[in-house]
Amino acid sequence: MMKELSLHILDIAQNSVRAKASDVKIVVKELVDANIFEFYIEDNGSGIPDEIFKTIKDPFTTSRTTRKVGLGIPFLNNTCLACGGDLIITTKINEGTKLLATMFYDHIDRPPLGDIVSTIVGLITSNEEIEISYTHWYNNQSFEFSTSEIKEVLGDMSLADIRIYRWMMDFVKENLEEIKNA
Ligand SMILES: Nc1ncnc2c1ncn2[C@@H]1O[C@H](COP(=O)(O)OP(=O)(O)OP(=O)(O)O)[C@@H](O)[C@H]1O
Ligand SMILES: [Mg+2]
């Protein structure tokens, strides 16, 4: 089963939310000329305890109590390996966690990125109290978007306000198109 990479990114970012992170940084790099697709998600949450970390790429590792399997990380790991890359996880208790996923850009099995704009804006609007920053690289062009910048100009308007939502969707979409066409 193929799953778009933006949905993998959403899964991994949701782990950060569950780990009580107050800052989540998401970086996507489409390095087409170098034939590399990579992304990382870095948080300042709880960190992953040793006993979970040891077998984190195994689907039966989860701290969930509602079910006995955790699929987010094993699934992404399989995708990276299938695409000639790797999933590298670094973590420290009470400091945070970073997951770096790499793949060959042109690998036949690499899933498409999918709707990254809705993913990022959705994450932001549903986690208003978390500072989220998003950086997208396309070769040597980059665009960065962060909730801390937006909050400064919002005044007492909510990030979940429909007008702000629409503005964020358009703004991110336009900027991503711009770096791709540069
Ligand atoms: N960023 C993180 N910070 C702290 N712990 C994490 C983080 N990411 C994962 N974990 C720990 O690793 C476990 C496995 O993560 P994984 O995403 O594979 O499965 P899950 O989140 O438990 O379930 P699913 O992703 O299927 O909803 C989690 O239950 C959690 O204990
Ligand atoms: Mg998960």
Q: Give the domains, in start order, of the chain with CATH numbers.
A: 5-181 (3.30.565)
Q: Is 43 in the pocket of ligand 1 (CB under 6 A)?
A: yes
Residue 24, both tokens: 């989540």
Residue 182 token pair: 């540069």
H helix runs in the chain, sequence order: 5-18, 50-53, 72-82, 116-126, 147-154, 162-181
Cβ atoms of 43 and 70 closer than 8 Å: no
Query: Closest residue (by CA) to atom 13 of ligand 1?
Result: 62
Minimum-distance ligand to the CA of 69?
Answer: 1
What does each of the 182 residues of the chain score in pLDDT, given as a tens digit? 679 999 999 999 999 999 999 999 999 999 999 999 999 999 999 999 999 999 999 888 788 887 777 789 999 999 999 999 999 999 999 999 999 999 999 999 999 999 999 999 999 999 999 999 999 999 999 999 999 999 888 888 888 899 999 999 999 999 999 999 98
Q: How far is the CA of 180 from the centre of ligand 2 (A)?
A: 30
CA–CA dist 72, 57 (Å, integer): 9
Tokens of 97: 């966690």
Put simply, whether the predicted model's pTM sits higher than 0.75 gets the answer yes
- Rounded to the nearest whole angstrom, what is the distance from the C-alpha of residue 84 to the centroid of ligand 2? 23
Distance 56 CA to ligand 1 centre (A): 8
Question: What are residue 30's DSSP bridge partners?
Answer: 37, 138
